[in-house]
Amino acid sequence: MATRKYVLVLAAVGVLAAGGCTSDPTPPVAGSQGASPSGTASASAATTPAMTAPAPAPKTVAPSGSPVKGCTTEQVNVIVGQSSGAAGTLVQEMDVHNTSAVTCTLTGRPFVSVYGKVPQGGGTVEATLGGVAVGQIPSTFGQLGAPATPQNLTHGDYAVFFLKWSQVPVGSKPCDKADGYAFRTPADASVNHLVTFAFTVCGGEVQVSNFMPKSSGF
């Protein structure tokens, strides 16, 4: 009897051991995450880009700027601005508008030649008034006599210059009636704009300023 009980006990222990190995249907958590570390690393590398330090930006050298060229007459348009005057001396502002697509510069004073009606063949023609000289506004005439400085104009920018003349007759010499003037920039040798502007010149001279910033206008 003692022997039989021993055998039954061993048999029961064997059944319990076998039941412990098969009773849990859920696999261990560690096994469900993947048993192959190398496989997990490969999947991660395939979906996540490697983080690397950004490459330094290449050094660039700015190209040397070309010098700004002088404005040609065809690059600008002249607009009659405001006037001022006292004691028979009149000053007229002229606005110079850069209508071109590029930056250009105006330095010095423009070429100006006054024109009006001149007798010819029993009638009159529009021509240069030979009796009207064109000089420079003297440096003693306040701001309008300022020295020349470059006026760089981008597209749409303005510079100004001024005309100065007298309306007071000198002795018996008649005054000249002008209908306008021919204009060209210092960068041009021959191309002129005809600016329509009626005025009366006494004393036989019109004076012209240098080009100035638009802020110098009236």
State the residue range of the domain holding 92: 73-216
For 156-191, the pLDDT digits (tens) are 999 999 999 999 998 888 999 999 999 999 999 889
- Does residue 62 sit within a domain? no
* Region 64-71 average pLDDT: 82
- Does residue 80 sit within a domain? yes
DSSP per residue, 133-161: EEEE--TTSGGGGPPP--EEE-TT-EEEE
- Does residue 10 sit within a domain? no
DSSP state of 110: -
Give the Cβ contact number of residue 18 at 10 Å: 10
* Region 135-162 average pLDDT: 96
- Does residue 142 sit within a domain? yes
- Does residue 66 sit within a domain? no
What is the domain-level CATH number for residue 177?
Answer: 2.60.40
Per-residue pLDDT band for 57 (boundaries 50, 70, 90) equals very low
Backbone angles phi, psi at 188, to 5 degrees: -105, 150
Looking up tokens 């690059």 gives 75
pLDDT at 71: 97
Per-residue pLDDT band for 59 (boundaries 50, 70, 90) equals very low
DSSP state of 215: G
- The first and second tokens of residue 82, run together, are 């405001």
- Does residue 193 sit within a domain? yes
Question: CB–CB of 166/158 below 8 Å?
Answer: no
d(CA 119, CA 107) in angstroms, rounded, equals 36
Q: What is the pTM of this model?
A: 0.69
User: Count of domains in the chain?
Assistant: 1
- Does residue 109 sit within a domain? yes
